[in-house]
Amino acid sequence: MPTFRESILAALHARLSALAAKVLRGDVLPERVPPAGLLILRDGEPGEPEVTLSPLAYHYQHRAEIEAVVQGSDRDAAFDALTASVGSMLAADRTLGGLCDWVEAEAPRPVDLPVEGAASLKAAVIPVVLHYSTADPLG
């Protein structure tokens, strides 16, 4: 049975997979970027929880990361469409089906990456903060 943290990350991955871009989880950047773009979900860092007693609860602000990558002649428009689709997906369900108290993305910081012998990549990391509580930091 997956942990609560894994259930949240799996739910985020499933929602990202519904988008037009190819979605990977914890994978390396492939040699080819699909025309619709590529998203790679990184598990990120749960950080130090706030702890409340009676009942015991650990309140996390887990920072996952989504790497967004596009390639081609119209990188700017493709990147804008890809990041907007991630934002719309998150706004449609801020609790990931009730698993989180709140999910919010931070603004990406795009960079252009030259590729020898091919069109440049436009990429950014989109930090996603997952607010949730659990009774066990390992569960």
Q: What percent of the chain has pLDDT over 70?
A: 100
| Cα–Cα distance measured from residue 19 to residue 30, given in angstroms and rounded to the nearest whole number | 18
Per-residue model confidence as pLDDT tens digits over 126-136: 999 999 999 99
What was the pLDDT predicted at 63? Answer: 98
Q: Per the structure block, which two tokens stand in for 3? A: 């942990």
What mean pLDDT comes out for the span 17-38?
Answer: 95
According to CATH, what is the number of the domain 4-134? 3.30.2000
| Cα–Cα distance measured from residue 41 to residue 45, given in angstroms and rounded to the nearest whole number | 12
- Give yes or no for residue 139 having a pLDDT over 80: no
> The whole model's pTM is what?
0.94
What mean pLDDT comes out for the span 79-105?
Answer: 97
What was the pLDDT predicted at 47? Answer: 94
- Cβ(40)–Cβ(121) below 8 Å: no
Per-residue model confidence as pLDDT tens digits over 58-83: 999 999 999 999 998 899 999 999 99
